[in-house]
Chain A
Amino acid sequence: MARMKFLCDAERCIECNACVTACKNEHEIPWGINRRRVVTINDGNEGERSISVACMHCSDAPCMAVCPVDCFYQTEEGVVLHSKDLCIGCGYCFYACPFGAPQYPQVGNFGSRGKMDKCTFCAGGPEDNFSDAEFQKYGRNRLAEGKLPLCAEMCSTKALLAGDGDVVSAIYRERIVSRGFGSGAWGWGKAYPGGAS
């Protein structure tokens, strides 16, 4: 099986923000954190496009390279996850990520750094699958239930695609052929250079 990838078809995104809301509800994410958001570029101009952005689970993830405590790991499916037990909330990954994916909770106790939070591709974390600990720290583990990320599964225009990278890119290629143009699968080249798995 090819690795898991996200693809956002900017021609189809209607900026409805349903993916953002679905993600928040599914994982019961606290206030102030958005694992997914919709970015609008060229706002108000001719080239205006909206793109749904979260962690792209990069092939050669820059967050992994800068983490001072090596809290990241990549699953066999290519999903980039991290251990909140190891994370020291230093924020370095935030600055390394070209998609602005890492988030930090509003800190409660003075001086204590909040653990980084980001999109898990709905794959939970290192804790036991379906355990309370896993849900509390990382959210629901849909992949272990045989389901794909909710943001993509519920996207009404199918602007956001998730799953087997080969299948996802084949779907996108077909679309470009049938509509005759494509403004680009945003972030695809950056996250998966050379189509590497």
Chain B
Amino acid sequence: MSERLLSRIGICIAAASLAFTLSACRENEQDRPLTFEKGVYEGMPDQKLNEQDRGELRARTHIQQF
């Protein structure tokens, strides 16, 4: 019984703190909206590099060491 009560209190505290946290993040309190969807490229698709090319590029990066 007391365990259930404790867990209930726990949930209440958790919910309250969550609500508090969320409210602190509200847009107008930070003076800005918190999501900003960046656009999506819809132009011609580019060709991808293959694994062999990538391996070569990685090896070549090491050559710059001195």
Chain A residues with CB under 8 Å of chain B are 1, 4, 64-65, 67, 70-73, 75-77, 81, 83, 85-86, 125-129, 143-144, 146-148, 152-153, 158, 161-164, 167-168, 171, 174
Contacts and interface: CB of A to CB of B under 8 A. Distances in A.
Given A75-B46, A127-B44, 4 more contacts: A73-B41, A126-B46, A144-B47, A168-B61
Interface residues of B, number: 25
B58 A167 contact: yes
A85 B52 CA distance: 30
Interface string B35-66: 01011111111111100111011101110111
B48 A70 contact: no
A161 B64 contact: yes
Contacts of B36: 65
A117 B42 CA distance: 19
A171 B64 contact: yes
17 contacts: A1-B57, A67-B39, A73-B46, A75-B49, A83-B41, A85-B43, A126-B43, A146-B57, A148-B61, A158-B66, A161-B61, A162-B64, A163-B60, A163-B64, A167-B58, A167-B61, A171-B65
